[in-house]
Structure 1
Amino acid sequence: MVDSGVVGDGGVTTDRWGPQPPDGRAVVVALHGRGQDRDAFRELVEALPLGDLPVLAPRAAGDTWYPLPFTAELARNEPHLTQALAAVDAAVQEAVDAGVPLERVVLLGFSQGACLALQSFLTSPRRYAAVVALTGGFAGPPGTAPAPPDGAAGVPVLLATHAEDGWVPLWRVQETADLLASAGAPVTLLVEPGADHVVTPLARRAVADVLERALA
């Protein structure tokens, strides 16, 4: 069963799967991809090795967080990008209000949701258990990058992608890995061959490895 409720401006709702947050050893805040409907995203998340962790899954109006590619000028994706970042904050705050410390919150996203997760972490770093970005990078046009964030040191980050992905260019994923590493985050970068825009068994194993270390 999916429990849904409004969690902020812009028509964003949240789905809640699994046990109530205090009953789990951690919580996953999961962010869907562009145009990815509720059932498809839940299927993707439930295929990940998350065990019985509760999931909070904010959902954007129209299943899209912001209208243009993540490599567009930031201002051209406003006010949607700011509203999307607020939705992430609201979901994280819901977990904290339920008694889950930040260091037991996993921020996870796929595709546009992975870009949003990374943008949230870079602009408002928190001491998460881990940040998992399945095909994503920071937002902004080529030749631009945010400053290395204070507060990211020690937070494990997984970046998984395909070398020829048509939606998220490899150079931006690599730039994101370098930026986070320069801020002191232990980064795992998984680049698989091909252009598939999917989460592979190898990526799922990488998720398991990162979470096992982060939540030990």
Structure 2
Amino acid sequence: MLEDRVLFIDAEAIVIDKPAGLPVDPPRDSTRSLVDMMDELTFGFQRLPTAVHRLDRDTSGCLLLSRNPKAQKRFHAAFEAGQVSKRYLAILDGVPEGESGEIDLPLKKVSSAASGWRMRGDPTGKPARTRWRLLAARDGRALVAFHPETGRTHQLRVHAAEGLGIPITGDPIYGRAEAAVMLHAAAITVPRPGKPDISAEAPWPERFSDLGFSHG
């Protein structure tokens, strides 16, 4: 039940802990998406909430929804202006060099009939920047915190695979699809002039614990 996954709610916004495996928009395979379940999140409002941004199907964690068009417009503007703070957690198929850093790698969409579309690092692509910090290492894998400063499609997945040279564990496109994708939107903060910030933190994902990484 999505109502049990609400992390923040007021008259303008809802933040849910989106489960891994649930697409935000209706996918081509016609499986159920978050859009099909918005009626579970009205909480007395007649208007259905609307997703402000997107998380990949296999990414879990904090997803912001707006409850009216005016709020949707303001939240979009905050994202476009780079005012929204997001923190992701990822398990990588290796341990990066150093303790922290910034990845500045523009991204461009490429496609082919054989393999479909994907993103890749390209100097002619759109600017993309991510700060990262090593949190823990275990059994040849690393737990890393990512703080994206831009919001490009597949940004963290490509920045891990190409920027750090180590893909996210379970990534079927940029790594090896041997497990669930280990990427989790752990926290989000959205400033609102004249009102308290929207702030939420998602629970620690069980699939991270299954690989031996614990919270804190």
TM-score normalized with structure 1 length: 0.27
The structure richer in strand per residue is 2
TM-score normalized with structure 2 length: 0.27
